[in-house]
Amino acid sequence: GARGANGVILITTKRAKEGRATVTYDGFAGVGVNNWGSLEVMNADEYVAFQREASRAVGAWHSEEDDAKAFFGAEQANIGKMDNDWMGRYFEKKRLWTSHSLTISAATEKTSYKIAFNYKNEDSRYKNAGNDHFFLTTDLMHQVLPFLKVGVSNRAYYIVRNAKPDMFNQFLHMSPLTPTYEEDGSLNTYPFGDPFVKNPYLNESDEVYKDKTEEWKLFMRMFAQVDLAKGLTFNTNFAYSPAFSARGYYYDNRSVSYTDDRNVAYTHNNRKADWVWNNVVNFKRTFGKHNVDLTAVYEMQNRQTVNSSMQGRDQESPAYLWYNMGRLTDSKQLATGFVRNQMVSVVGRVQYSYDDRYIVTASFREDGASQLSKGHKWAFFPSVAAAWRISEEAFLKDVEWLTNLKLRATYGMTGNYSIAPYATAGTLYGTYANFNGGELHRPGLEPSTRPTPDLKWERNKMLDIGLDFGFLRGRIHGTVEYYDSKSYDLLYLKVLPYTSGFNRAWSNVGDTRNRGWEVSLQTVPVETKDFHLGVNLSYYRNKEELVRLQDPTMKEDINNGLFVGYPVNGVHYNYKQLGIWQQDEAELAALYGQKPGEVKVADLDGNGKIDGNDRMILGTTRPDWVGGLQINGNWKNLDFSVDVYGEFGALAYDSRSTSGWASELGRWNTYKIDYWTPENPSNRHPRPTEGQSIRYLDATGYYKNSYVNIRNITVGYTLPRKWMGRVVKKTRFYVTMNMPWRYSRFQSDGGITWWESFYIFGANVQF
């Protein structure tokens, strides 16, 4: 009840089948392709018109003779001669993915084992970047004695990541009037001739920017099961998971978005050691029509992390990268850390069923979490559930078209303790201060997070009522479910007033409620000897709201984005755009200190001025409803599947559509948008300008985020058995398309409707 899954999850991994050893190869290769969707960036002619209009708006441009005031010299010389599609080059980049997996498994009457190795490579759209993953899995289980079974499972990971920063915004804002390369073929370092705007491709060079992370992780699980008596078993499981990661990065003054003359080097090492030990006693017996299942669990968990880092500037030689850090000559900083948290849990469950018709379950768990405040570390979570299998009643047993009908209900408590260790004690962070006007800055400590000695568990009470049904021998089956969940003492990291002397503090801020419906329907409309077709539908609707704040007299906490009656996160609170001030509204606009071409927002209180009291809740990021469609089938040896998913009714915000309007004197490229000019009285986007901010510009970035994705299409073919011979048992080839198509209502004014599709060819061979 205290875990993230809000319940108990039992997982059984695949084991080898008894008989001869089986060797299985799985592999695929794929390519990632960027799709533009509705995303369009201004070409050279549109960019020229945009920049001239920005200068005209401030009275600096009247004709082409004033182009020197609107463009950099490097741009002005290329007007009418160049149209460099920087963004197109970004989207033309393709990513390659490959994966190879080899598994050997076998089993005898008493022993089973499995050994698997997997290698996966993920390419990047940037040169000298990508990820390599190595996985080794071993499973061994042995029946030592008739009453004793033991086993061990190991998972070893080694991952290498070579990263480059995403340059999407940099490519978006590059001028189409500037070349990527010099005449000699080298990269054009400063396309604008401006030292603050660099060529995004420079970061692809490891001499300019290199960021490498290596991770090692081992997950070891040992277990033993003892049959103590008939129906009585004892299981003990111990899992130990050591991990180590090392990251280093280096970049010099040619790196994009870095303007210092000195290079930067950084290294960070992180060592973790986690373990979990649980002991389970289970008693399961049947007495006639009565079934009894009793379970008791005791579990301990420990998580510990030790880390260290060093950074500085002016590395003596670029060849050192983040090594030989003692040679750094400026701004050296050292940091070390230790983090530990523990948890203890006691769980009990009683389940009784009669004649497989009436089922009752009662459970409890008590959890203690070290992260919470003294005196509040422990919490108790009971639950009860009941089910009635109506289809097993005598009055329905003879109904041939009814396969299953089951009514069930659950009421119980869960908990949440997900805060950082030591957060309740308050934290300090290192800083430097200048004393007495001297040149030296002395190190010191400054309060960061305020102590919270009364922080306690977040508790959740949930009612769930469901109806499971099946008709026509399983050809149609599904579930209708209603839930109502109420959370108390919500854990939340609050922003504190500057005058408090602290930045943030964890707090139990109030109560929330989630309620909604989930409906799933699985059907088999066609089932013949050679052809099978399955169609599955799902529907989900949820209403989330903050019911009460910590201070019950308050209805909103604007600084923390908390509003009673709305979700805890994802509320859009801003001015409401009514349009753009038009020329025939000049007198009315002047009353608000504005002029035609500027953003027009609602004066909610009607007092003739726009201030903080005119902000309102525009919507939330939560969809009104979510739906899914899955189609799967096979015809002889050919199989196929389609997965469609959609969200409807959410309100999204695209910050990119409001960028590039006034930065660097308005000389950034941006999306192709319908902006206002005296000759084009648009009512959507304001008139561009330069050298000054545009009031209420952020109010123009909201849009209804309803969309439908085809998430996956897979077509596979299994070769006939007669083609395989004696060595090969099964061979299947398949083609998969991930995210091949997307439809969004947001189809104009730029935006975030581009996505990446993956096209994969794979094979599965069993020997």
- Banded pLDDT at 670 (limits 50, 70, 90): confident
pLDDT at 430: 73
Which domain does 443 fall in, by range?
A: 426-452
CB-side exposure of 690: number of CA atoms within 13 Å? 21
**397 domain-assigned:** yes
Q: 490 and 447 in one domain?
A: no
**529 domain-assigned:** yes
Q: 532 and 499 in one domain?
A: yes
Q: 559 and 509 in one domain?
A: yes
- Tokens representing 277 are 């030990």
Q: 402 and 526 in one domain?
A: yes
443, β-bridge pairs = 432
pTM of the model as a whole: 0.85
Q: Got the DSSP string for 312-377?
A: EE--S-GGGTTS-GGG--EEEEEEEEEEEEEEEEEEEEEEEEETTTEEEEEEEEEEEETTSPTT-S
- At 168-223, the pLDDT tens digits run 888 888 899 999 999 999 999 988 887 778 899 998 888 888 999 999 999 999 99
Q: How many domains does the chain have?
A: 2
- Banded pLDDT at 429 (limits 50, 70, 90): confident
Looking at this protein, which amino acid is placed at residue 537?
Answer: L
- At 209-223, the pLDDT tens digits run 899 999 999 999 999
- Nearest Cα residue to 49 out of 701, 90, 57, 191: 57
**474 domain-assigned:** yes
**553 domain-assigned:** yes
Q: 436 and 538 in one domain?
A: no
* Measured distance CA(424)–CA(451) in Å, rounded: 5
- Nearest Cα residue to 411 out of 361, 337, 473: 361
- At 61-112, the pLDDT tens digits run 999 999 998 888 889 999 999 999 988 777 777 889 999 999 999 988 899 9
Torsion of CA 610, 612, 618, 622, to 10 degrees: 160
Q: 551 and 431 in one domain?
A: no
- Banded pLDDT at 378 (limits 50, 70, 90): very high
pLDDT at 435: 66
- Banded pLDDT at 749 (limits 50, 70, 90): very low
**191 domain-assigned:** no
Q: 437 and 469 in one domain?
A: no
- At 612-648, the pLDDT tens digits run 999 999 999 999 999 999 999 999 999 999 999 999 9
**225 domain-assigned:** no
Query: What is the mean predicted confidence (pLDDT) over 296-322?
Result: 90
- Banded pLDDT at 34 (limits 50, 70, 90): confident
* 378-389/458-471 β-pairing: unpaired
Q: 553 and 442 in one domain?
A: no
- Banded pLDDT at 674 (limits 50, 70, 90): confident
Q: 508 and 383 in one domain?
A: yes
Vertex 371: Cα angle to 370 and 373 (nearest 5): 90
Residues whose CB is less than 8 angstroms from the CB of residue 155 and which lie 6 or more positions away in sequence, other chains included: 135, 136, 137, 217, 218, 219
- Tokens representing 236 are 């003990």
pLDDT at 754: 67
The DSSP output letter for 91 is H
Q: 465 and 436 in one domain?
A: no
Q: 562 and 496 in one domain?
A: yes
* Measured distance CA(189)–CA(198) in Å, rounded: 6
Last residue of a domain, one of 603, 622, 641: 622
**73 domain-assigned:** no
- At 563-617, the pLDDT tens digits run 999 999 899 999 999 999 999 999 999 999 999 999 999 999 999 999 999 999 9
Burial class (CB in 10 A: 0-12, 13-18, 19+), 374: exposed
**569 domain-assigned:** yes
Q: 501 and 378 in one domain?
A: yes
The C-alpha R_g of the chain, in whole angstroms, comes to 32
CB-side exposure of 48: number of CA atoms within 13 Å? 19
Residue 440 pLDDT exceeds 80 = no
